[in-house]
Amino acid sequence: MIQVNVRDPRPIYEQVRDGFRRLILSGVLPAGSKMPSVRELAAELAINPNTIQRAYRELELEGCICTVPGRGSFVSASDAAAALRRRELTDELRAAVKELRALGMNEAEILSAIREGTGND
C-alpha cells in the first residue's frame, strides 16, 4: 500500500502523507474507507507511530481524511483535497516554467515538453 524509501530526501511523514494522498485522489481508497490504524501501519512500515500520526494529522488538515474518536480515521468525501492538490501542482508547474524560461526555453519548447508528458503530441 504505502512504501517508505530511506533514500528519499523527504521526511518519512511526508512520504506517508503523499502516498495516502495519491491513493485517495486516484480512487484506490474511496470515500468512507477506513484508514489503517496508526499502530498497525507503524508496525507494518517499522516506523515510529508518532510519524504516522503526523502524516494523518496533515491529511486531516488537508481534508483528505477525518478522524472519529474511538473508531479511527476514514477517507473524506470532500473534493477539497483534490482542489488543494491541483493548486499545489499548479504552483509547482508555474515555478518549473519560470525556471525553464530562465534557462532559455521558449514557450513552444515548454508546451512541447508538456504535451510529451501527457501523450498528446
Q: Tell me, yes or no, whether 70 and 16 share the same domain.
A: yes
Kindly give the interhelix angle for 80-102 and 49-62, rounded to the nearest 10 degrees: 90
- 90 and 112 share a domain? yes
In a domain, 3, yes or no: no
Instruction: Provide the number of structural domains found in the chain.
Output: 2
Do 66 and 85 share a domain, yes or no?
Answer: no
Does a structural domain hold residue 42? Answer: yes
Which residues form the domain of 99?
80-118
pLDDT at 24 over 70: yes
Amino acid, single-letter form, for residue 22: R
| Same domain membership, residue 49 and residue 16 | yes
pLDDT tens for 28-53 read 999 899 999 999 999 999 999 999 99
Distance between CA atoms of residues 14 and 121, nearest Å? 34
How confident is the model over 83-92, as a mean pLDDT? 82
Predicted confidence (pLDDT) at residue 121 exceeds the cutoff of 80: no
Report H helices in the chain: 12-25, 38-45, 49-62, 80-102, 107-118
Phi/psi for 55 (5° steps) reads -60, -45
**pLDDT at residue 100 above 90?**
yes
Cell digits for 32? 468512507
